[in-house]
Amino acid sequence: MTNTKTLRLIDTFLNGLSEDFGAFADLKMEALDALRTQGLPALKEEEYKFTPISKKLESTFGEIKATQKINLTAAQVAAAHIPGLDAHVLVFNNGQWDQELSNFTGAEFQILSIEENEANLNGKIGAIAKNDRDHFVPLNSLTFQEGISLEIPKGKALTKPVLILHFVQALEGNYTAPRTYISAQSQTAGTFIEKTISLDEAPYFNNVVTEIHVGENAHIHYYRVQEESRSGITVNNFETNIHRDATFTSVVLTLQGDMLRNNLSLNLLDSGCEGNMYGLYLVNGKTHVDNHTNVDHTKPHAESNELYKGILADQSRGVFNGKIFVRQDAQKTNAFQQNNNILLSEDAIVNTKPQLEIWADDVKCSHGCTIGQLDEEALFYLRARGIGKESARGLLLYAFAGEVLEHIKEESFRDYCIGLLQERLGGSY
């Protein structure tokens, strides 16, 4: 598949474009140019070597078409809520902001429609997740509708986390493109939790772009749980600019989908800042999960920590690629990366690759990756004490995986994730 051939997939979009882009015309023009030259990922393209996303989209849909909105009800929103979590709730309906079903009364943040506020947001949207970043960013830039900008004003610490619920269901079309821009001004704090709910088993392609500005001394946690339908295809482009003395921590729990690709990029733009990325993928069936992470250390005295763990059963497939750039200026950088995998079946596959580019000389960097089976010695030890085989496996896998979920600071969400993990491992540990 050559790049231009991949454009067949988005023919409907390209043909349906009007001369006048309306809001964000510059961004969209640029996106269109990027798409015309780059196309979608070609089959052998390095960045998508193990994740043949274009082929997947083509065989699933032939062609990508935007889907209609769903008739969502408040009951559906309530049912998707995390038990025990007191949160502001933001609802996306097939990628489009649904103000009516959202509930954030009394929130310390402001929400604006992206399209209706070009004057305020021009130069911000697309400035963090740039159109030349990944093939799917320009596709989103060109196609998003009813995106939102959320701003935490200077000095405000959110008293409640923000729960972002994405409801997806292919209706006539198959494609959704949510766009979110979050700006945490200086000295702010906030926690975001994002969850996708597939309303049925019809295949869809959810092309998500999230941009986050983490201002000076701001402290942001971002959690995401991916438990989509077995035919859900998702590409997430998530990019954040982290400023002086700020911290940003993400935890991504992936449980199910058809093909899921997460591009997560942390740009550490100043001294004293810290970026942390944690991920757990616990997949079975034919789920394919690909985490491409990217940390860019540009200034001295910043730190990044990364731990991704995978448990793969059946014919599932995992890909981990961790890039760390330490630029010449970024002396005294601390950067740590670890990726550990357990394969539970002969047919499960993991490809893991650290990619470090270090231009500064006074830095501490470490990375490591492992792929193995469940520790048989440990399993026997537990069984020799009277613990049944399945429980013993569960205990060991839970111990392996739990280390990632410990980084979730929001208790009821952590409990929720632990519940999902235990459900998957078949028991409580």
Partner 1 sequence: MLSIKNLHASVEGTPILKGINLEVKPGEVHAIMGPNGSGKSTLASVLAGKEEYEVTAGEVIFKGKDLLELSPEDRAREGVFLAFQYPVEIPGVSSTNFLRTAVNQVREYRGQEPLDAVKFLTLMKEKMKLVEIDQKLLSRSLNEGFSGGEKKRNEIFQMAILDPSLSILDETDSGLDIDALKVVSHGVNTLRSADKATIVVTHYQRLLDYIVPDFVHVLFDGKIVKSGNKELALELEEKGYDWIKEATNGAAV
Which residues contribute to the site for partner 1 (CB under 8 A)? 375-378, 380-389, 391-392, 395-396, 398-400, 402-403, 429
Least distance to partner 1, CB of residue 376, Å: 8
Nearer to partner 1, 359 or 380 (CB): 380
CB 131 within 8 A of CB 137: yes
CB of 56 to partner 1, least distance (A): 35
Nearest distance in Å: CB 161, partner 1: 27
CA-based R_g, the chain, Å: 21
**Cα dist from 279 to 251, 259, 329, whole Å:** 5, 16, 29
**What backbone torsions phi and psi does residue 6 show, to the nearest 5 degrees?**
-60, -20
Helix H segments across 124-192?
A: 136-143
Task: Indicate the residue among 11 and 375 with the shorter CB distance to partner 1.
Answer: 375
b (16+ CB within 10 A) / e for 109-122: bebbebbeebeebe
Residue 417 C-beta: closest distance to partner 1, Å: 16
Give the nearest distance from C-beta 348 to partner 1 in angstroms.
21
State which residue, 185 or 391, has the beta carbon closest to partner 1.
391
Q: Which is nearer to partner 1, 107 or 253 (CB)?
A: 253
Which structure tokens are listed for 8? 């067949």
Nearer to partner 1, 302 or 425 (CB): 425
Residue for token digits 């004003």? Answer: 153
Question: Which one, 356 or 387, has the nearer CB to partner 1?
Answer: 387
- Residue whose CB is less far from partner 1, 157 or 378: 378
Beta carbon nearer to partner 1, 48 or 308: 308
Q: How far is the CB of 403 from partner 1 (least distance, A)?
A: 6
E strands, 8-153, in order: 88-93, 96-103, 110-113, 148-152
Bridge pairing between strands 162-168 and 175-176: unpaired
Q: Interhelix angle for 389-405 vs 376-383, to 10°? A: 120
Q: How many residues does the chain have?
A: 429
Distances in Å between the alpha carbon of 272 and those of 82, 130, 191, 301? Answer: 34, 25, 20, 6
Min. distance of Cβ 335 from partner 1 in angstroms? 23
**Beta partners for 334?**
303, 364
Minimum CB separation from partner 1 for residue 9, in Å? Answer: 43
Burial class (CB in 10 A: 0-12, 13-18, 19+), 348: buried
Q: What angle do CA 190, 192, 193 make, to 5 degrees?
A: 155
DSSP 298-341: -SSS-EEEEEEEEEE-TT-EEEEEEEEEE-TT-TT-EEEEEEEE
Number of H helices, E strands in the chain: 10, 20
Instruction: Please state the closest distance from residue 115 (CB atom) to partner 1, in A.
Output: 47
DSSP state of 41: P
- Give the residue with the Cβ less far from partner 1, 346 or 376: 376
Smallest gap, in angstroms, from Cβ of residue 399 to partner 1?
Answer: 3
Give dist(CA 155, CA 141) in Å, integer. 30
Residue (4 or 428) nearer to partner 1, CB: 428
